[in-house]
Amino acid sequence: MRKKIVAGNWKMNKTPSEAVALAKMLVPLVNTDKVDVVFCVPAIDIIPVAEAIKGTKIALGAENMYFEESGAYTGEISPAMLTDAGVKYVILGHSERRQYFAETDETVNKKVKKALEHNLIPIMCCGETLEQREKGITIDFIRTQIKCGLNGISKDDITKVVVAYEPIWAIGTGKTATSAEAEEVCAAIRGVLGEMYDKETAEKIRIQYGGSVNGKNAAELFAMPDIDGGLVGGASLKEEFKDIVNY
Ligand code: 13P
């Protein structure tokens, strides 16, 4: 049985003091071990939020990471900086990073490998644009993202990875994929993982859905056989996050 994982992606929201206030508001509402709960926060909020969630069941996540160990990479954050600060998960290849910060399947792949080397759990994102969906090439496109992004990951390591399927047209738009649409792609992702590894291995990998997940639609989405939780943007910044965690 795969344990569900609900992660909040705070994106570029909340100053350090606001982040502490949000974490403290949410902790008593989402402090459960029935599902894995993760707060993925901006880099500058990592240290204060780590302190605010200390001793709870909530895990800390980052929103990005660089694929080198250290050195002359102004503005970047290394994997060791994350682990030293208590980070357990790291979102990699979010569509916003691909769109605005020129991330490619190749750089995402380097980051996934480097994260695993440091025992960080990558949440690797994939997802199609509206144009790709309308052209009917969603599954082909996602297949490429999965095969490239996870290229060369060992069978042992792949079961640690979390994949997040986030159709770009559903992000921040209030337009959620229907549970059937989300399930179709998540099942296809599991199929690709089965081809890359084997069926038994693919069955162990957690696949989240993301894109306008809220307190009302979470239960139906998470009930689908290949959807193992959610990656939540807007609703993770509100009390409503508890309705998703306690779906
Ligand atoms: P929204 O939940 O705001 O649509 O964002 C989804 C997302 O991008 C999470 O990574």
Beta strands in 80-228 (DSSP E): 89-92, 121-126, 162-165, 206-210
Beta-carbon contacts of 184 under 8 Å, excluding residues fewer than 6 positions away, are: none
pLDDT in tens, 36-78: 999 999 999 999 999 999 999 999 999 999 999 999 999 999 9
Read off the DSSP letter of residue 101.
Answer: S
Distance 212 CA to ligand 1 centre (A): 6
Residue owning tokens 């380097």:
110
CB of 53 sitting under 6 A from ligand 1: no
- The rounded distance, in Å, linking the Cα atoms of 183 and 227 is 7
| DSSP-assigned beta bridge partners for residue 162 | 123, 206
Catalytic residue among 63, 96, 103, 166: 166
**pLDDT on residue 175:** 86
> pLDDT by residue (tens digit) across 73-132?
999 999 999 999 999 999 999 999 999 999 999 999 999 999 999 999 999 999 999 999
Look at the pTM and tell me if it is higher than 0.95: yes
Q: Which atom of ligand 1 is nearest to the CA of 212?
A: 4
Measuring CA to CA, how many Å separate 200 from each of 76, 121, 157, 211, 228? 37, 20, 14, 28, 16
- Ligand 1 and 211: CB distance under 6 A: yes
Please tell me which residue in 94, 96, 103, 128 is annotated as part of the active site.
Answer: 94
User: How confident is residue 176, by pLDDT bands cut at 50, 70 and 90?
Assistant: confident
| pLDDT recorded at residue 151 | 98
Q: In 3D, which of 245, 180, 188 has the Cα closest to residue 213? A: 245
Amino acid at 2: R
| 63 within ligand 1 shell (Cβ under 6 A) | no
Measured CA to CA, the distance from residue 239 to residue 232 in angstroms comes to 13
220 vs 201: CA distance, rounded Å: 25
Which protein residue's CA is at the shortest distance from atom 5 of ligand 1? 233
Residue 180 Cα to ligand 1 middle (Å): 19
Instruction: Please tell me the predicted confidence (pLDDT) of residue 1.
Output: 84
Could you tell me the end-to-end alpha-carbon distance of the chain, in angstroms, rounded to an integer? 18
Distance from C-alpha of 232 to C-alpha of 194, rounded to nearest angstrom = 26
Q: Is the CB of 61 under 6 A from ligand 1?
A: no
What proportion of the chain, given as a percentage, has pLDDT over 90?
Answer: 98
Examine the residue annotation and report whether 94 is marked as an active-site residue of this protein: yes
| pLDDT per position as a tens digit, 208-240 | 999 999 999 999 999 999 999 999 999 999 999
Is there a contact between 58 and 37 (Cβ–Cβ < 8 Å)? yes
Among candidate residues 244, 104, 243, 226, the one with its CA nearest the CA of residue 165? 226
User: Cα(7)–Cα(207) distance, rounded to whole angstroms?
Assistant: 12
Instruction: Decide whether any atom of ligand 1 lies within 6 Å of the 92 Cβ.
Output: no
CA distance 20 to 23: 5
Tell me what percent of the residues of the chain surpass a pLDDT of 70. 100
pLDDT for 18-30, tens place per residue? 999 999 999 999 9
Please answer whether residues 193 and 162 qualify as being in contact, where contact means their C-beta atoms are separated by less than 8 angstroms: no
**Per-residue pLDDT for 136 more than 90?**
yes
